[in-house]
Amino acid sequence: MVYLKSIFYFILAGLLEIGGGYLVWIWLRDSKSWMYGLSGMVVLALYGFIPTLQPANFGRVYAAYGGVFIILSMLWGWKVDGIKPDTYDLVGALFALIGVIIMMYWPRGG
């Protein structure tokens, strides 16, 4: 159950960070209403809270989150912006995911 909660927190944090960043992005780059920017900033603030729920130390959580962010960013780009990842994107994301699994979930001696 701890693993499932951890994975859920990684995905939630990623969606909040990418979603918040995207709202700020379209506010500034696409000249959307200031409400997009404000909403994005609020969502980004919520993102800052979620990683504290992870069962590991700060450095490990944020290092592992980098790998999760890679995967979620590519999925966001594919589904929201219509940019399909190529083979090299997928291979790189796989390596990042393997790194996340090793950092966060590999059994450690006590």
Q: Please indicate, yes or no, if residue 110 is contained in any of the structural domains.
A: no
- Residue type at 35 in one-letter notation: M
Report the alpha-carbon distance of residue 24 to residue 35 in Å, rounded: 9
Listed in sequence order, the residues at least 6 apart from 13 whose beta carbon sits closer than 8 Å to its beta carbon are: 47, 50, 51, 65, 68
Q: Please indicate, yes or no, if residue 44 is contained in any of the structural domains.
A: yes
Q: Please indicate, yes or no, if residue 57 is contained in any of the structural domains.
A: yes
Domain count, the chain: 1
> 2-51 pLDDT, tens per residue?
889 999 999 999 999 999 999 999 999 999 999 999 999 999 999 999 99
Q: Please indicate, yes or no, if residue 80 is contained in any of the structural domains.
A: yes
Listed in sequence order, the residues at least 6 apart from 89 whose beta carbon sits closer than 8 Å to its beta carbon are: 74
> 24-33 pLDDT, tens per residue?
999 999 999 9
**Domain of 50, in residue numbers:** 2-105
Q: Please indicate, yes or no, if residue 69 is contained in any of the structural domains.
A: yes
108: left (phi > 0), else alpha (psi -120 to 50), else beta?
Answer: beta
